[in-house]
């Protein structure tokens, strides 16, 4: 590489927006004076104007410029413009640096022209310092395998499989139990569309069957994985044999477990006639009723039912800092009102007393809440500190409650059945979590990188989460999140080749002393320890690296650096800014 | 020893997606802050090496302001904690070199936190103005 | 209990989600009363004592503000009405409470009840009537006054007994719901003061009703307050007329028995005439409102509400027709009308303790209780 | 103008539309993204911080706005209306009318000199009328694209802007541009309208100046706030006792919307927390019926709000009255207290308005039936299959198009719409790679 650098510097007037407060001529003159490598230093009325861009392209070509600094407005507005210009001129776009002398200089310091000018000058110097040590960068290309592993054969897994297969992506779906459909398969009618859970599962399975690009393995679990986005290698245990799968991305859809009340919680397992909503759902899914039938449960004719909400959800944080399910399980208010409607529709003259804390029948489900009320349900609000008591008395369940709506005066009530509206808890997947190093949040559900920016992604790029493994959801929301995960996975594997940003970490082998701080710091597991010609050192997997630079900061020797922001580049910029 | 003519030079580390837009907004809103600040943008504030900070002081900056991402960072949700750990190491190094630790400041600046940025920088400016130039403090 | 109340007309009570809007818009609500939301909650949950132990139910005068603003269209005003029906049933003596229950719940029963209570006086009159003088009107020789007196007084005693029982039950139940904090003469004095306040302000001037609508005079004439005032004063006036006639035989009975014409200027007759006008105006306006459903309170009408108004109107109208026939000197028509008139009045009294009419005695007591107990 | 070809047309560049467009673009499909406003980002970009993680809305949507404006597979059209959509051989043919900005966006440097020169002031719709804007204006500080737009309806043709513009970007001769595009599928991401609070007459919005709606409050508490301080509109006083009226225009049959709007509880609590940040001494009371903190991390957020001292009163506010000093009295029943009518004074009252459909787009469909539900949201064809399917084949819905949704759910559903849309296109036309 020749030492001679040919730099072009273009300082923008922005039609006065810069030049009114920044002495552009002075900047140009100073740079000309102090920077011999700056072959061209120009001021332009509008750097971004087409004519100016043509002028720059001409300069780059004719003057054989190999680095360019544009000093203009914020890079957020025009960095892409100028980088594209560089590309058109045949210059590596990353050999161009865009410095801000408008938002961060002229506009910020209108009352101090000298200060603004000096600041602009310093920023231009930093730009020059940067391009001097800059190296051309190319987007990283990574081949991907056009197949996706889906873990979990509940409705989320099934839906993701359907979507991906429809997008021409090969799918391997594994389920640890012997049958597909998960919890939903066991449910009766599901709000808000009154189709049986088993029916929904059947439709999904039917849609999936006969597709050539889907393989389904039941009784299968993940043993381990290696690789990275686009090229994962996953070992799967199937009954007796172990198989190895090559996939481009992994979707985790392992679902939830239902909360099991402890013995004695609202009389559970102690008082006859206390059951959970899942047990009621099972009873209802098999019971035929046309509105005149009688409900018999456990040999007892049921006339009055009490629903107790928020069992296992919205628990108070214990004083001693122990565990509690503080989250709301989201689906239960809706599911309970829906089950109540089913009861009212199938059986005659049954009163249901709903002991609730807040009715969370959000959105359209509010209508279901109202119609439950109009069909024979009565809603009684209770306070966190005054939960109802359940006891056995005679052949019935006695409920003593304190409703906050009537000043918490105790009232006794007798019912034939008590249904505990139990929430969702994260399913036990310790082995899987370990195998895939899946991040678990404080609530025990899988944690996404960011609920709004990257809602289905985990810290391991390419491993996605969806459905109720991530948070409590109802069927409709689960299907949506599964589709969203499918979309994300498709965007990883649909193109044979992935284009990734070039700003990734790299190791200077000469400096690395294998302190491994970077490995601990990396949130994406992108760094590993390798041995090269007898020397242990860190190695960055650029397909996993997101380019945050966290590793750079902790490296004791300065071996770990970020492309486009190398230590030399940053230091030279600091030097430029300080002058 | 504070000098009326002394203009403390402040280096600001900002981040491409979050705090740099916030600093831009301060300019767009014509909010006044000391022009002797210089801004250097990085992908994420957790990348700021303590060494960069020391290097800044050695290069002639009188103060360093880290405009961190806060919880909005597109890379890491805990980038503030990571940045804070690095800042702590920088503080230790500054102690060794006899640089007053109040010359280093870190604050979460979001993409519209123009006021927070301007106030933070002004405040740092005033403190450092009282302390005097960085090489001067070594002698004190 | 909620099903009972629904059967009594609170058809939308189930829609209530306890937001409290009704209480907050209620012109009668104060910081401590439980209009009407808590009543509804009690009814939903089935805490019937709480409802019967509170005089608040009777303070409501169905202005309809709550129903207009209810976000779930649960119609709290109608629920309050239904709860009053419920309380009427509950306060009645054990042996007869089924009557009001059946009257409210079954139109057939209500109808047969009315028919029976119309046939009884008709039979009585047909079998007991005296000489029919077809040339000049000898009203009380057609139907001797002492029969009317005997029947009237008997019916009065029965009604009064039922009423007293209800009032006593209400009094003792509501006293249970009150916490005492002041005793002694101050309280007694307050009770007395409030008693007169209740009588004059609330009963005679119907002050509470007036709070709901306060607009120009034209509107006031058709306001609920005015309609109710005319019905109240008309009815009371006629009652007083009757009692005076009973107490002062020389003014009415003697001339009527002997065919002596009573001039219109005669005070008692004048009172009766004016009262009748009031009653007819009030009852017909109320009926018109109900037909037009022009106000919230008149948008739903229960069978018994119609019956009461129709009977009031009939009582007034037959009275006037009677007067007219009397004036035109057509004896036979006069006798026939008297028969009808007395039957109507008999009916009106007979159903009084079991229908909406009951508010005439429960309401003043409730007002007095709430006034005096607010003080305690 | 020649007809343009795209794989998908995404209508609406709010957070859901942007997400769907990015997802499709990342898969390799060519997307046209159309926004009717002069800037993209939708309502989210105007918010302060967003629940439950209190991250800054502008930071998050900023990431997406910059991605869509530079994405190689996304063509962005702002200030454009989709005028007509009809069936065509390839799928749909759409006529899109790009309204004239009267400013050449490629020349505009967003310096704002024209704004300074313009003599006309009208209320700024992006600040919900809290402050003014000029007839030529840059919609707001964080607008994308950052270009001025001239509102000809309010312009007096004084030509001051044209004389002032250093870039000669003002062009009064611009005319509407018509784009005819052929697409294989359509994603509707048209968002929502706010409930017009004046319709709930008892709350006297529009009459009492210190009764504001939650979107105005959102602007007041956001860092780019109109008054640069949290103050109340009537007299600029710093509010010390703020009331929030939840379910304004939701769960209320008297205004014709019996449904719950899903987000009001949460955004009200969020605003309360933000206000406590800038006005630590302020009392904040939320009048609610049920706190619907149902999403991930929401319940924890609710508990945190209570712990921070936000007061929660269970009772729907029935009416509002103004006092002489422009403070407000609310009437309600504390349904969990001793009962009876209660009054409370507040110096600022925020109406937590609900979300209503914004589905005028269905009128553009010619010969294609996109059904609405009884409230007017786009009807979902089969929720047991996917909640992004509309009644029309090849037309998908994302975000609040089918009903109110919070941001995480909108983003997820946008992904779902992209997925269904991609599958549809591939099934019909083959994958974008093989083409």
Provide the angle, in degrees to the nearest 10, between the axes of the packed helices A155-166 and D407-429.
40
Q: How far apart are CA B38 and CA B64, in angstroms?
A: 10
Map out the domains of chain A with their CATH numbers: 7-137 (3.40.50), 147-255+427-497 (3.50.50.60), 258-423 (3.50.50.60), 502-563 (3.30.70.20)
Taking contacts as CB-CB distances below 8 angstroms, the residues of chain B near D224 are 25, 112, 114
What is the model's pLDDT at position C331?
A: 78
Taking contacts as CB-CB distances below 8 angstroms, the residues of chain D near A475 are 383-384
Closest Cβ–Cβ partner in C17, C24, C68 for D341: C24
The nearest alpha carbon in chain D to C34 belongs to: D340
User: Are the beta carbons of D298 and A328 separated by less than 8 Å?
Assistant: yes
Instruction: Convert the pLDDT of each residue in A135-163 to its tens digit.
Output: 999 988 888 999 999 999 999 999 999 99
Distance from CA of D108 to the nearest CA of B (A): 15
**And the tokens for A322?**
């122990």
Task: Identify the band that residue B1 occupies on the pLDDT scale cut at 50, 70 and 90.
Answer: very low
Best residue in A355, A379, A401, A409 for a mutation probing chain C (most C CBs within 10 Å): A379
Q: Chain B contact for A116, CB < 8 A?
A: yes
The nearest alpha carbon in chain A to B8 belongs to: A578
What is the model's pLDDT at position B137?
A: 45
Instruction: Convert the pLDDT of each residue in D389-433 to its tens digit.
Output: 999 999 999 999 999 999 999 999 999 999 999 999 998 876 665
Mean per-residue pLDDT over chain D, rounded: 93
Percent of chain D's residues with pLDDT above 70:
98
Q: DSSP labels for C277-300?
A: HHHHHHHHHHHHHHHHT-SGGGTS
Closest Cβ–Cβ partner in A107, A123, A573 for B27: A107
Beta bridge partners of B42: B15
Pick the last residue of a domain from C91, C112, C139. Answer: C91
User: Are the beta carbons of D431 and A494 separated by less than 8 Å?
Assistant: yes
Q: How far apart are CA B23 and CA A141, in angstroms?
A: 34
Instruction: Convert the pLDDT of each residue in A267-319 to its tens digit.
Output: 999 999 999 999 998 888 877 777 778 888 888 999 999 999 999 999 998 88
Per DSSP, which regions of A373-480 are E strands? 377-381, 389-393, 396-402, 410-415, 417-422, 424-426, 463-465
Map out the domains of chain D with their CATH numbers: 4-99+176-191+358-429 (3.50.50.60), 113-164 (no CATH), 195-354 (3.50.50.60)
Lowest mean pLDDT segment, chosen from B31-40, C54-63, D1-10: C54-63
What is the model's pLDDT at position C152?
A: 81
Q: Chain B contact for D423, CB < 8 A?
A: no
Counting as contact any 3 or more CB pairs under 8 A, the partners of C are: A, D
What is the model's pLDDT at position B140?
A: 36
Q: Is C19 in the same domain as C42? A: yes
Burial tier of A532 (Cβ tally within 10 Å: 0-12, 13-18, 19+): exposed
- Answer yes or no: is pLDDT of C376 > 70: no
Using DSSP bridges, classify how beta strands A256-258 and D49-50 pair: parallel, antiparallel or unpaired.
unpaired
Q: How far apart are CA A391 and CA A399, in angstroms?
A: 6
Q: Chain C contact for A405, CB < 8 A?
A: yes
Task: Identify the band that residue B139 occupies on the pLDDT scale cut at 50, 70 and 90.
Answer: very low
- Answer yes or no: is pLDDT of C186 > 80: no
**And the tokens for A483?**
């589709």
Taking contacts as CB-CB distances below 8 angstroms, the residues of chain D near A167 are 27, 419, 422-423, 426, 431
Within 10 angstroms of residue A199's Cβ, the number of other Cβ atoms is 17
What is the model's pLDDT at position C360?
A: 82
Q: Is C61 in the same domain as C102? A: no
In contact, D140 and D46? CB cutoff 8 Å: yes
Q: Chain D contact for B20, CB < 8 A?
A: no
- Answer yes or no: is pLDDT of C310 > 70: yes
Residue predicted with more confidence, C252 or D17: D17
Distance from CA of D323 to the nearest CA of A (A): 30
What number is the average pLDDT over the span D298-320? 95
Domain count, chain C: 2
User: Are the beta carbons of D299 and A48 separated by less than 8 Å?
Assistant: no
The nearest alpha carbon in chain A to D66 belongs to: A76
What is the model's pLDDT at position D435?
A: 42
What is the model's pLDDT at position C203?
A: 75
Pick the last residue of a domain from C66, C91, C116. Answer: C91
Mean per-residue pLDDT over chain C, rounded: 80
Closest Cβ–Cβ partner in C17, C38, C47 for A379: C17
User: Are the beta carbons of B77 and A577 separated by less than 8 Å?
Assistant: no
Map out the domains of chain B with their CATH numbers: 10-139 (3.40.50)
Q: Which of A17-21, D336-340, D361-365 has the highest mean pLDDT?
A: D361-365
Q: Is C138 in the same domain as C267? A: yes
What number is the average pLDDT over the span C340-357? 82
Torsion angle defined by CA atoms of residues A408, A409, A410 and A415, in that order, rounded to the nearest 10 degrees = -80
Residues contacting D143, CB < 8 A, separation 6+: D38, D39, D41
Taking contacts as CB-CB distances below 8 angstroms, the residues of chain D near A192 are 383
What is the model's pLDDT at position C266?
A: 82
The nearest alpha carbon in chain C to A410 belongs to: C47
Q: Is C12 in the same domain as C140? A: no
User: Are the beta carbons of D404 and A365 separated by less than 8 Å?
Assistant: no
Pick the last residue of a domain from C43, C71, C91. Answer: C91
Taking contacts as CB-CB distances below 8 angstroms, the residues of chain B near D228 are 115
Q: DSSP labels for A146-159?
A: SEEEEE--SHHHHH
- Which range of residues forms the domain containing residue C101? 97-375
Taking contacts as CB-CB distances below 8 angstroms, the residues of chain A near C10 are none
Percent of chain D's residues with pLDDT above 90:
80
- Answer yes or no: is pLDDT of C262 > 90: no
User: Are the beta carbons of C37 and D332 separated by less than 8 Å?
Assistant: no
Q: How far apart are CA C40 and CA D304, in angstroms?
A: 33
What is the model's pLDDT at position D128?
A: 86
Q: How far apart are CA C142 and CA C131, in angstroms?
A: 5
**And the tokens for C215?**
């607009």
Taking contacts as CB-CB distances below 8 angstroms, the residues of chain D near B25 are 141-142, 224
**Ranges of chain A whose pLDDT falls below 70:** 1-3, 192
Taking contacts as CB-CB distances below 8 angstroms, the residues of chain A near C47 are 406, 411
Residue predicted with more confidence, D430 or C291: C291
What is the model's pLDDT at position C195?
A: 80
User: Are the beta carbons of D331 and C26 separated by less than 8 Å?
Assistant: no
Q: Is C80 in the same domain as C116? A: no
Percent of chain A's residues with pLDDT above 70:
99
Counting as contact any 3 or more CB pairs under 8 A, the partners of D are: A, B, C
What is the model's pLDDT at position B78?
A: 86
Taking contacts as CB-CB distances below 8 angstroms, the residues of chain C near D333 are 20-24, 29, 37
Q: Is C161 in the same domain as C280? A: yes
The nearest alpha carbon in chain B to D229 belongs to: B115
- Answer yes or no: is pLDDT of D202 > 80: yes
Taking contacts as CB-CB distances below 8 angstroms, the residues of chain A near D388 are 480, 483
Taking contacts as CB-CB distances below 8 angstroms, the residues of chain A near D409 are 477, 480
Distance from CA of A171 to the nearest CA of B (A): 29
Helices (H), D39-101: 57-70
User: Are the beta carbons of D299 and A326 separated by less than 8 Å?
Assistant: yes
User: Are the beta carbons of A407 and D403 separated by less than 8 Å?
Assistant: no
Distance from CA of A195 to the nearest CA of D (A): 8
In contact, A223 and A217? CB cutoff 8 Å: no
Distance from CA of B105 to the nearest CA of D (A): 21
What number is the average pLDDT over the span C319-338? 81
What is the model's pLDDT at position D142?
A: 82
Q: How far apart are CA D287 and CA A87, in angstroms?
A: 59
Using DSSP bridges, classify how beta strands B63-68 and B10-15 pair: parallel, antiparallel or unpaired.
parallel
Lowest mean pLDDT segment, chosen from A225-229, C44-48, C303-307: C303-307
What is the model's pLDDT at position A475?
A: 93
Distance from CA of B79 to the nearest CA of A (A): 8
Q: Is C157 in the same domain as C64? A: no
Which of A76, A55, A73 is CA-nearest to residue A12? A73
What is the model's pLDDT at position C294?
A: 65
User: Are the beta carbons of D202 and C72 separated by less than 8 Å?
Assistant: no
Instruction: Convert the pLDDT of each residue in D145-188 to its tens digit.
Output: 889 999 999 999 999 999 999 999 999 999 999 999 999 999 99
Q: Is C156 in the same domain as C302? A: yes
Q: Chain D contact for B74, CB < 8 A?
A: yes
Q: How far apart are CA D370 and CA D392, in angstroms?
A: 5
What is the model's pLDDT at position C217?
A: 67
- Biggest CA-to-CA distance, chain D: 72
In contact, A10 and A71? CB cutoff 8 Å: yes
The DSSP code for D53 is: T
What number is the average pLDDT over the span C178-195? 68
Closest Cβ–Cβ partner in A370, A381, A403 for C15: A370
- Answer yes or no: is pLDDT of C204 > 90: no
Task: Identify the band that residue C184 occupies on the pLDDT scale cut at 50, 70 and 90.
Answer: low
What is the model's pLDDT at position C301?
A: 64
Q: Is C135 in the same domain as C225? A: yes
Closest Cβ–Cβ partner in C17, C38, C45 for A411: C45
Lowest mean pLDDT segment, chosen from A118-127, C85-94, C330-339, D27-36: C330-339
Asked if B touches C (at least 3 Cβ pairs < 8 angstroms), the answer reads: no
Q: Chain B contact for A567, CB < 8 A?
A: yes
What is the model's pLDDT at position C374?
A: 56
Q: How far apart are CA D180 and CA D346, in angstroms?
A: 54
Closest Cβ–Cβ partner in A105, A523, A577 for B11: A577
Taking contacts as CB-CB distances below 8 angstroms, the residues of chain B near D141 are 25, 28-29, 112
Which of C32, C4, C15, C7 is CA-nearest to residue C76? C15
- CATH code for the domain in which residue C67 is found: 1.10.1060.10
The 3-state secondary structure of A265-296, one letter per residue: HHHCCCCCCEEEHHHHHHHHHHCCCCCCECEE
Per DSSP, which regions of A19-137 are E strands? 38-44, 67-72, 96-100
Which of C337, C336, C276 is CA-nearest to residue C312? C276
Q: Is C180 in the same domain as C290? A: yes
In contact, B139 and B133? CB cutoff 8 Å: no
């Amino acid at each position: 590489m020749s030492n001679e650098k040919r730099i072009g510097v273009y300082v923008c007037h922005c039609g006065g927006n810069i030049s009114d407060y920044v002495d552009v001529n002075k900047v140009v003159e100073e740079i000309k004076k102090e920077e011999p490598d700056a072959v061209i230093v120009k001021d332009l009325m509008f750097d971004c104007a087409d004519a100016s861009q043509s002028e720059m392209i001409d300069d780059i070509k004719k003057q054989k410029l190999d680095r360019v600094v544009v000093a203009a407005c914020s890079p957020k507005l025009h960095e892409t413009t100028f980088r594209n210009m560089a590309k058109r001129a045949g210059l590596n776009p990353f050999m161009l640096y865009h410095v801000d002398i408008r938002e961060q200089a002229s506009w910020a310091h209108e009352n101090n022209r000298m200060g603004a000018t000096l600041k602009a000058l310093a920023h231009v110097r930093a730009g020059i310092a940067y391009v001097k040590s800059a190296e051309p960068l190319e987007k990283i290309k990574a081949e991907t395998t056009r197949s996706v592993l889906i873990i979990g054969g509940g409705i989320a897994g099934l839906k993701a499989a359907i979507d991906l297969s429809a997008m021409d992506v090969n799918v391997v779906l594994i389920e640890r139990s012997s049958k597909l459909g998960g919890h939903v398969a066991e449910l009766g009618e599901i709000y808000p569309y009154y189709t049986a859970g088993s029916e929904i599962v059947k439709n999904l399975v039917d849609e999936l069957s006969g597709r050539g690009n889907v393989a389904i393995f039941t009784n299968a679990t993940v043993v381990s994985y290696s690789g990275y986005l686009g090229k994962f290698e996953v070992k799967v245990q199937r009954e007796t044999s172990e198989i190895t799968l090559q996939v481009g991305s992994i979707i985790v859809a392992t679902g939830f477990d239902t909360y099991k009340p402890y013995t004695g919680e609202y009389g559970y397992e102690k008082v006859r006639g206390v059951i959970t909503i899942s047990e009621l759902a099972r009873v209802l899914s098999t019971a035929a009723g046309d509105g005149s039938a009688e409900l018999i449960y456990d040999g007892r004719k049921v006339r009055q039912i009490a629903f107790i909400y928020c069992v296992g959800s919205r628990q108070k944080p214990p004083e001693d800092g122990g565990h509690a399910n503080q989250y709301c399980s989201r689906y239960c208010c809706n599911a309970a009102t829906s089950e109540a409607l089913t009861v009212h529709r199938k059986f005659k003259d049954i009163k249901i007393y709903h002991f609730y804390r807040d009715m969370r029948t959000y959105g359209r489900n509010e209508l279901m809440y109202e119609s439950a009320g109009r069909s024979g349900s009565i809603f009684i609000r209770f306070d966190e500190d005054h939960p109802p008591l359940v006891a056995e008395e005679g052949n019935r369940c006695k409920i003593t409650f304190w409703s906050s709506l009537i000043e918490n005066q105790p009232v006794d009530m007798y019912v034939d059945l008590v249904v505990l509206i139990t929430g969702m808890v994260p399913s036990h997947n310790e082995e899987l979590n370990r195998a895939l190093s899946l991040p678990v949040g404080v609530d025990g559900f899988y944690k996404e990188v960011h609920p709004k920016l990257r809602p289905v992604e985990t810290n391991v790029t390419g491993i996605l989460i969806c459905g109720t493994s991530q948070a409590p959801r109802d069927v409709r929301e689960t299907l949506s999140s599964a589709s969203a995960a499918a979309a994300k996975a498709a965007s990883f594997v649909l193109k044979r080749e992935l284009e990734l940003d070039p700003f990734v970490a790299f190791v200077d082998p000469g400096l690395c002393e294998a302190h491994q701080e970077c490995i601990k710091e990396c949130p994406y597991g992108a760094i590993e320890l390798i041995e090269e010609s007898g020397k242990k050192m860190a190695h960055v997997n650029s397909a996993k690296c997101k380019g945050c630079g966290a590793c750079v900061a902790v490296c004791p020797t300065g071996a770990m650096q970020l492309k486009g922001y190398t230590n030399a580049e940053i230091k030279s910029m600091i030097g430029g800014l300080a002058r | 020893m504070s000098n009326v003519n002394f203009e403390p030079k402040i280096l600001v580390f900002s981040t491409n997606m979050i705090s740099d837009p916030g600093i831009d907004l301060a300019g767009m809103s014509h909010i006044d802050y000391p022009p002797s600040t210089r801004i250097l943008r990085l992908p994420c504030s957790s990348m700021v090496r303590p060494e960069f900070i020391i290097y800044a002081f050695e290069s002639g900056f009188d103060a360093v302001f880290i405009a961190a991402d806060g919880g909005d960072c597109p890379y890491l949700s805990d980038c503030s904690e990571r940045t804070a750990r690095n800042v702590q190491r920088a503080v230790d190094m500054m102690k060794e070199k006899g640089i007053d630790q109040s010359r280093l400041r870190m604050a979460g600046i979001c993409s519209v936190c123009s006021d927070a940025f301007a106030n933070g920088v002004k405040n740092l400016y005033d403190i450092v103005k009282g302390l005097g130039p960085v090489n001067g403090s070594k002698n004190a | 209990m909620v099903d009972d109340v629904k059967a009594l007309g609170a058809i939308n009570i189930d829609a209530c989600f306890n937001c409290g809007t009704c209480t907050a818009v209620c012109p009668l609500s104060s910081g401590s009363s439980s209009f009407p939301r808590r009543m509804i909650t009690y009814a939903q949950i089935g805490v019937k004592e709480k409802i019967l132990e509170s005089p608040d139910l009777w303070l409501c005068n169905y202005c309809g503000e709550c129903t207009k603003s209810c976000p779930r269209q649960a119609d709290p005003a109608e629920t309050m009405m239904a709860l009053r029906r419920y309380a009427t049933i509950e306060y009645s003596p054990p042996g007869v409470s089924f009557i009001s229950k059946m009257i409210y719940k079954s139109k057939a029963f209500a109808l047969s009840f009315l028919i029976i209570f119309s046939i009884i006086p008709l039979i009585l009159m047909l079998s007991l009537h005296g000489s029919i003088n077809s040339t000049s009107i000898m009203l009380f020789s057609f139907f001797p006054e002492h029969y009317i007196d005997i029947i009237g007084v008997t019916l009065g005693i029965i009604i009064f007994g039922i009423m007293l029982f209800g009032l006593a039950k209400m009094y003792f139940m509501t006293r249970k719901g009150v916490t005492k904090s002041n005793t002694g003469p101050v309280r007694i004095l307050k009770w007395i003061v409030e008693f007169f306040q209740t009588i004059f302000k609330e009963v005679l001037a119907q002050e509470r009703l007036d709070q709901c609508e306060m607009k120009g005079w034209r509107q006031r004439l058709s306001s609920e307050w005015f309609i109710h005032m005319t019905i109240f004063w008309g009815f009371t006036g006629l009652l007083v007329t009757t009692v005076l006639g009973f107490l002062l035989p020389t003014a009415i009975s003697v001339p009527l028995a002997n065919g002596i014409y009573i001039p219109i200027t005669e005070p008692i007759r004048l009172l009766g005439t004016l009262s009748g006008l009031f009653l007819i105006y009030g009852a017909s306006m109320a009926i018109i409102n109900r037909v037009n459903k022009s106000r919230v309170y008149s948008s739903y009408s229960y069978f018994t509400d119609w019956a009461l108004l129709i009977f009031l109107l009939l009582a007034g109208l037959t009275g006037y027709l009677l007067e007219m026939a009397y004036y035109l000197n057509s004896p036979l028509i006069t006798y026939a009308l008297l028969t009808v008139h007395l039957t109507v009045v008999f009916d009106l009294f007979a159903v009084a303790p079991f229908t909406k009419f009951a508010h005439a005695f429960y309401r003043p007591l409730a007002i007095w209780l709430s006034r005096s107990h607010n003080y305690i | 103008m020649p007809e343009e070809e795209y794989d998908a047309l995404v209508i609406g560049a709010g957070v859901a539309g942007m997400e769907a467009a990015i997802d499709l673009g990342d898969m390799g499909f060519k997307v046209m993204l159309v926004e009717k406003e002069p800037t993209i980002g939708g309502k989210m970009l105007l918010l302060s911080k967003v629940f439950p993680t209190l991250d800054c809305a502008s930071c998050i949507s900023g990431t997406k706005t910059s991605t869509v404006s530079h994405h190689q597979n996304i063509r962005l059209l702002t200030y454009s209306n989709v005028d007509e959509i009809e069936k065509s051989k390839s799928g749909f043919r759409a006529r899109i009318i790009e309204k004239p900005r009267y400013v050449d966006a490629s020349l505009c440097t967003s310096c704002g000199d024209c704004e300074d020169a313009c003599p006309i002031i009208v209320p700024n719709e992006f600040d919900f009328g809290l402050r003014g804007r000029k007839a030529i204006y840059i919609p707001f500080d964080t607008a994308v694209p950052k270009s001025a737009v001239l509102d000809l309806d309010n312009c007096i043709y004084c030509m001051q802007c044209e004389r002032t513009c250093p870039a000669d970007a003002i062009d009064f001769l611009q005319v509407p541009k018509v784009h005819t595009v052929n697409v294989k599928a359509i994603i509707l991401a048209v968002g929502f309208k706010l409930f017009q609070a004046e319709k709930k007459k008892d709350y006297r919005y529009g009459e009492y100046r210190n009764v504001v709606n939650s979107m105005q409050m959102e602007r007041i508490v956001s860092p780019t706030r109109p008054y640069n301080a949290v103050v109340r509109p009537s007299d600029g006083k710093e509010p010390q006792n703020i009331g929030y009226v939840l379910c304004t225009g939701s769960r209320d049959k008297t205004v014709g919307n019996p449904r719950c709007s899903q987000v009001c509880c949460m955004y009200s609590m969020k605003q309360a927390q933000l206000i406590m940040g800038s006005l630590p001494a302020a009392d904040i009371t939320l009048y609610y019926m049920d706190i619907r903190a149902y999403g991930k991390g929401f319940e924890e957020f609710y508990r945190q709000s209570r712990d921070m001292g936000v007061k929660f009163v269970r009772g729907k506010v029935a009416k509002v009255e103004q006092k002489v000093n422009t403070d407000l009295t609310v009437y309600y029943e504390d349904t969990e207290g001793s009962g009876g009518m209660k009054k409370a004074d507040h110096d600022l009252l925020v109406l937590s308005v609900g979300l209503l459909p914004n589905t005028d787009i269905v009128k553009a469909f010619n010969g294609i039936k996109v059904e609405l539900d009884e409230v007017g949201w786009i009807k979902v064809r089969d929720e047991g299959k996917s909640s992004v399917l509309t009644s029309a084949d090849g037309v998908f819905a994302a975000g609040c198009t089918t009903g109110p949704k919070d941001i995480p759910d909108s983003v997820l559903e946008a992904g779902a719409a992209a997925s269904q849309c991609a599958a549809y296109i591939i099934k019909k036309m083959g994958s974008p790679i093989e083409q």
